Structure 1
Amino acid sequence: MPKTVETAAQRALPGRKAQAARNDELILAAAREVFLAEPKAPISAVAERAGVGISALYRRYPGKEDLLRTLCYDGLRRYNAEAEAALENSDGWAALVDFLRRVVDADVHSLTVHLAGTFTPDESILPDIQRSAELNDEFLRRARESGRLRPEVTAADFGLILEACAAISLPDPDRTAQLRRRVLALLVDGLSATGELPGPPPVPGEFAQRWQRRDL
């Protein structure tokens, strides 16, 4: 009997895990929609949008900050994944352009623009932040070696470009994507143009400070 019960439980477990995974995908997709539209929205709005019970949501995310943290951390990991894929191109300039296009299409920086300062980051994200910095530096190095990049451009300028594109948002998602790519093309031309850029580039800490928790 114990063996039979154990086997039944083992067979049932993958199904429960699959359902939990599906619920998690629904919750995160709903959270992205809800919080990008209104960062102050209650967590109950996410459950309603996802079509799951509030108890199911709380079992996975004890509070709103946990959900916001996961959402943004997933965004950073997507950023790193797109960067690693773009680095497969041996052409330094083409790799940089492909990287920027991939991240703009993935809409990663909408999370930064809307959600920075809405939760307290923890140390679990530090390895991904370090990896992101390494990838940015590698794009910068290769693009410089290609001879196409302005010499005064820094890796922090990539963040400015990506956030500028993410700031474009229209009710029509297809039109939003078109305009973001258009603006990116204009900005990419600026990366390779001659002439002096006005003002200094972003300095360490200027971007990081907005992730300090603020009251909503």
Structure 2
Amino acid sequence: MPTETPGLPGRRRQAAQNDGAILDAAREVFLADPKAPIAAVAKRAGVGISALYRRYPAKEDLLRTLCQEGLHRYIAEAEAALAEPDPWDALAGFLRRVVEADVHSLTVHLAGTFPPDAELGRAAARADELATELVGRAAAAGRLRPEVVVQDVGLALEACAAVRVPDPERTRDLRRRVLAALLAGLTGDAAARPPLPGPPPQPGELSWRWRQSAE
């Protein structure tokens, strides 16, 4: 018969609560300043520095976890969108949900601050694969301007993530406005619009920050 361990569920529950508080605090701290020390995260989370280090031995481990969580949310939203029947509604709804969740802010702020590992690379590849499928479906249905490529979606998300004012609710409103304007420019009667200037972004062109961190 296994040995009883009274209190273990409570310890696990406390550990899970601490981890959630640490990740929430880390997101706030590193969005404001990616170079902030890990002690600032412990202070914001209200946990001891030793508790933080038990879970994340190095700052890179914490940053990597934050980015992985963002990618997993992106992937989950993309997979849900692919189950929707209308290709344009699927793509537009996916972008709105990603912007609402503020997923891309972490990528913009943390890219290049630590070397990605294999798991992060696999998640990034899966995210790109799903986004490519969403864009391809919308293009095949005639709902996208013909010159739009999947990398334009990344640029749209970066543009929305760059919008930030002190009031969080106002930030959300402004990001919704920017995304609505961007979506209007991606679809519609292409013949009535001037072509997009310059060559489109190339595969891998927007990931230069991650390559820099690995060097």
TM range (shorter): over 0.9
User: Which residue of 2 is the match for residue 197 of structure 1?
Assistant: 196
1:132 and 1:163 mapped to 2: Cα distance?
Answer: 15
How far off is 1:28 after superposition?
Answer: 0.4
1:137 and 1:76 mapped to 2: Cα distance?
Answer: 15
User: Which residue of 2 is the match for residue 213 of structure 1?
Assistant: 213
For these two proteins, the number of residue pairs brought into alignment is: 210
How far off is 1:214 after superposition?
Answer: 8.3
How far off is 1:208 after superposition?
Answer: 1.6
Confirm or deny: 8 A CA contact 1:92 1:142 kept in the other structure. yes
Residue 38 (structure 1) aligned with residue 33 (structure 2)? yes
Q: What is the 5 A alignment of 1:172-187?
A: 172-187=167-182
Residue 87 (structure 1) aligned with residue 86 (structure 2)? no
Deviation string 1:57-83 (CA, Å, 9 cap, x unpaired) is 000001111111111111111111111
Alpha-carbon RMSD across the aligned residues, in angstroms, is: 1.6
User: Which residue of 2 is the match for residue 136 of structure 1?
Assistant: 131
Confirm or deny: 8 A CA contact 1:80 1:132 kept in the other structure. yes
1:144 and 1:162 mapped to 2: Cα distance?
Answer: 19
**Secondary structure of 2:213's aligned partner:** coil
Any unmatched runs of 5+ in structure 1?
A: none
Q: Percent identity?
A: 65
Q: Where has structure 1 moved over 4 Å in runs of 4 or more?
A: none
**Secondary structure of 1:85's aligned partner:** helix
Letter in 2 for 1:79: Y
TM-score by length of 2: 0.93
1:95 and 1:169 mapped to 2: Cα distance?
Answer: 26
Confirm or deny: 8 A CA contact 2:116 2:214 kept in the other structure. no
Q: What is the 5 A alignment of 1:52-67?
A: 52-67=47-62
Residue 149 (structure 1) aligned with residue 127 (structure 2)? no
Match of 2:110 among 115, 123, 128: 115
TM-score by length of 1: 0.93
2:159 and 2:128 mapped to 1: Cα distance?
Answer: 19
Confirm or deny: 8 A CA contact 2:75 2:130 kept in the other structure. yes
